[in-house]
Homo-oligomer: A and B are copies of this chain.
Amino acid sequence: MRRRFLLTISYDGSGYFGWQGQRKADQPTVEEALVKAMEAFFRQPITLLAASRTDRGVHALGQRAAFWADTTVPAEKIPLALYAYLPEDISVTEALEIGPEFHPRYQCTWKIYEYRIYNAPYRNPLNRKYAEFNHNKLDILKMQEAAEVLVGEHDFKAFCASGNTHKTTIRTIYDIEVLPREGHEIVIRVKGNGFLYNMVRIIAGTLMMVGEGKISKEALRQILESRDRTKAGKTAGPNGLTLVQIYYENLGKGC
Contact = CB atoms under 8 A, between A and B. Distances in A.
7 contacts: A79-B121, A88-B125, A89-B125, A91-B123, A91-B124, A92-B122, A93-B122
B12 A125 contact: yes
Interface residues of A, number: 23
Contact of A12 (B89, B126, B242): B126
Scoring A90, A93, A123, A125 by chain B CB atoms within 10 A of each residue's CB, the highest score goes to: A125
A197 interface: no
Interface in A75-90: 79-80, 83, 88-90
Interface in A1-43: 10-12
A130 interface: yes
A59 B10 contact: no
A188 interface: no
Contacts of A90: 125
A18 to B, nearest CB: 15
Nearest to A88: B128
A61 interface: yes
A89 B128 contact: yes
B92 A242 contact: no
Contacts of A92: 122
Contact of A126 (B79, B80, B121, B130): B130
Q: What are the 10 A-B residue pairs with the smallest beta carbon separation, nearest first?
A: A12-B125, A93-B122, A89-B125, A91-B123, A91-B125, A11-B125, A10-B125, A91-B122, A12-B126, A88-B128
